[in-house]
Structure 1
Amino acid sequence: MLQEFLKNHRIILASGSPRRQVFFRELGIDFTVNLRPVDEVFPDHLKEAEISDYLAALKAKAFDGALKPNDILVTSDTIVWHRGFALGKPLNREEAISMIQGLNGDTHKVITSVCLTSTNKQVVFNDTTLVTFISLTKDEIEYYVDNYKPYDKAGSYGIQEWIGSIAISKIEGSYNNVVGLPTQKLYETLKDFASV
């Protein structure tokens, strides 16, 4: 269905995330993957969705001057926001364990921003999901980190993995957003973006 709206466009996904690529295939979107290095640093005063919005748009800037008239570039960023701090991807085992211990027995926000860019316009949108963890033991946290190595995931966990099955007591909002893409909002926004 979406492909009808996109038939005159080339969709470029600037993400190496296998999970986002699966979502694109499930939405029936033909796309190419093109990655460009970006230093993902944001101003200190930004909070919550302002951070992921900024980083999604920053990733698009790496393609300045490279897009053709029928191209639609899709860039995105996911953060975990907890007690006034943004949690990105952990640098090592100790940081991964520490991040999950911080989320333990508490509720946090998972925010994903998506930036759609063409040669003549840009739209940034985001979605927020509330996720509540039960209290895990240190052994359970270490088991997860050692066996699933969540170093490519914001907040040090993947909801689609073992920890999502045993540790998450409640989720409010889009599950796919926590995995890494607000697919329902993407579907609607991409349809509008391609139609105008």
Structure 2
Amino acid sequence: MPLSAPNSSLARPRLVLASNSPRRRQLLTDLGVAYEVRLREVAEDFPPHLVRAEVAEYLAAHKAAAYAPDLAPDELVLTADTIVCLEDDVLNKPADATEAVRMLQRLQGRAHDVYTGVCLLAGDGRRVVFSDQTRVHFRPLSLAEIEHYVTQYQPLDKAGAYGAQDWIGMVAVTRLEGSYFNVMGLPVHRVWEELEKLGAVGF
């Protein structure tokens, strides 16, 4: 006889996704997690002394703080920020196509690191901040390939000027060390684990 579902699910906090990223929305949907989207403008500046994972975690926590005053006691907001690091240089979203081409020229033929910082902030004050790292290896790319990608896919909303799920991911990424979904914008294995601890998901 199958076990009945626990009644504790009635007390689960309601998840708010504070992101306009279609990739993050799809990943949460694929996880089977119910959520609502709530958006507001938050500056993505960070202190210059921060490096790598510190930047991603700072930005995620900074975004969550902007939602804190309006969270209901039974709500839990999820914020995230993905950055691309070439050594210690942070490559955020390019300002225009020219900068996107320049970023991809720097990445081609080299390995770089992708960090996604995540903050889970509950309306009752509980807060978890973490990040995940994936090392991405690019094969050498021609200028024509780079310009084709930038022209056709307009990756101006993506850190490092590329999406691993796009054409360039199929032709350029030769190896990943870490989570592929982290490169897409959300380390779903860690997110699920932390949501379980907070009582937001489970069986």
State whether TM-score is above 0.5.
Answer: yes
Secondary structure (helix, strand or coil) at the match of 1:45 reads coil
TM-score (norm 2): 0.92
In structure 1, what is the equivalent of residue 122 of structure 2? 118
- CA contact under 8 A between 2:135 and 2:178: conserved in structure 1? yes
Aligned: 1:88 with 2:92: yes
Aligned: 1:77 with 2:81: yes
In structure 1, what is the equivalent of residue 67 of structure 2? 63
In structure 1, what is the equivalent of residue 133 of structure 2? 128
Secondary structure (helix, strand or coil) at the match of 1:38 reads coil
Secondary structure (helix, strand or coil) at the match of 2:70 reads coil
- CA contact under 8 A between 1:56 and 1:77: conserved in structure 2? yes
Which letter maps to 1:101?
A: Q
Q: For residues 27-84 of structure 1, what are the alpha-carbon distances to aligned partners after superposition, in whole Å with 9 as ceiling and x for unaligned?
A: 1111110011111100000000000100000001111321111100000000001121
Matches within 5 A, 1:20-39: 20-39=24-43
2:58 is aligned, of 49, 54, 57, to 54
In structure 2, what is the equivalent of residue 102 of structure 1? 106
Gaps of 5+ in 1: none
Q: Give the Cα–Cα distance (whole angstroms) in 1 for the partners of residues 43 and 85 of structure 2.
A: 20
RMSD: 1.4
* Deviating 4+ runs (over 2 angstroms): 4-8
CA distance 1:56–1:5, change in 2 (3 Å): farther
Which letter maps to 2:175?
A: K
Which letter maps to 1:141?
A: I
Q: Give the Cα–Cα distance (whole angstroms) in 2 for the partners of residues 83 and 51 of structure 1.
A: 14
Which letter maps to 1:185?
A: R
In structure 1, what is the equivalent of residue 22 of structure 2? 18
Q: Percent identity?
A: 46
Aligned: 1:167 with 2:182: no
Aligned length: 193
In structure 1, what is the equivalent of residue 48 of structure 2? 44
Q: Give the Cα–Cα distance (whole angstroms) in 1 for the partners of residues 45 and 10 of structure 2.
A: 32
Aligned: 1:182 with 2:187: yes
Which letter maps to 1:38?
A: V
**Higher Rg:** 2
Matches within 5 A, 1:129-148: 129-148=134-153
